Structure 1
Amino acid sequence: MAHIRHNYEGGDAVLDAARDCVLAVGVRRTTLTDVARRAGVSRMTLYRRWPDVRTLVGDLMTREWIALAVNAIPPAAPDATTRARLVDGLVDGVAAFRAHPLFHKIVDVDPELLLPYLLDRRGASQDALLGLITGTLAEGHADGSVRRCGPDLQARSLLLVVQSFAMSLRTMTEPDDPGLTDAAFLQELRTLLERTLSP
């Protein structure tokens, strides 16, 4: 699984501590001192790797989102095409992302953290997801289950679609309308992906 590399031992413990702090008080109220105390390391240890909380939270988001994506895509199986695996993985990944407590906390308390990755530039997690999608598309091209297209264009287009469902779905749902629930939209996402990926 893709992961963040750290310059010292205990990097995962620091990210775990950062996650706990953010879930408790949000990003703006989290300090490196709080994280260091919770992780059991010195502040200088953190400052050598992360100059500020936003950089640390960026690495935390990368770790969490990549883990979701990797775990969402089913392993290869004789009775499943690559297209089916990819569609299942992308739909399940969107559902898992939307249910993730870190995503909920950031959207509710510090949504501006996500704007640069939607409007200005790709983040490390988006690049990692593109690599994962591109590799799976290549398998689908090879077994004939996925429509052939330039792999970079196809992967980026898929990421744009699933990213919009993951980030903006709650602006379109209606809790009192059974036809406009999360589940209904995820089924529609499945249909969109199936149709665009079918040869």
Structure 2
Amino acid sequence: MSRLLLLHASPLGSEARGSTIAYQACNAWQSQNPRASIVERDLNKLALEPLQRGYVEAIVDGSPHHHDDFTLSEELIQELEACSRLVIATPMHNFTVPSSLKLWIDYVLRHGRTFTYQSGRKVGSLQDKPTTVIVTSGGMVTGAAASQPDHLTQYLRDVFGTMGISNVRFVYLEGMARLDVAMDMLEAGRRALATDPLFAGSV
């Protein structure tokens, strides 16, 4: 059965503007795939703690996957493995990912579990899957109109690529701090999702 994992990374949770259009797209997709399921995670409500010493020592020691310090990491990794599609709605904070999403990455990007080393290079252990990242920013971050750096896009490409997920696409809701363009940007985001291979024909 097809399963979609939807991650909310905004402090506003599912009420954030990026999450709003993500909901619309995911619900439309599910309506056309009634046997499919949607699993949601509000990463702020999850309230992940920074990785602790026991976790680091378990990595260094090569402890088995069922080690107590890997319990939450295993839960999140298995959730990621179980989905056939992944959608992330995230703001851009200080030019990059918000802390809630960074902590989720710290828990799922794990040596010996989601990637290994081969000839000194990191090689992903997960199966590739369609992944759509909906990025909300107050300023303009793409194209000639960009007014601030973007350290989010390539970072996420590198993170998912390290785990074996290369089919990653981005939808940008830019300039959302400007009331005169915010609604137009939201509509442009909906149109972009409508042509996204993950949602095409269902938005």
TM-score by length of 1: 0.27
Larger Rg: 1
Bigger fraction of residues in strand: 2
Bigger fraction of residues in helix: 1
- 1 or 2 for the larger relative contact order (CA 8 Å, sep ≥6)? 2
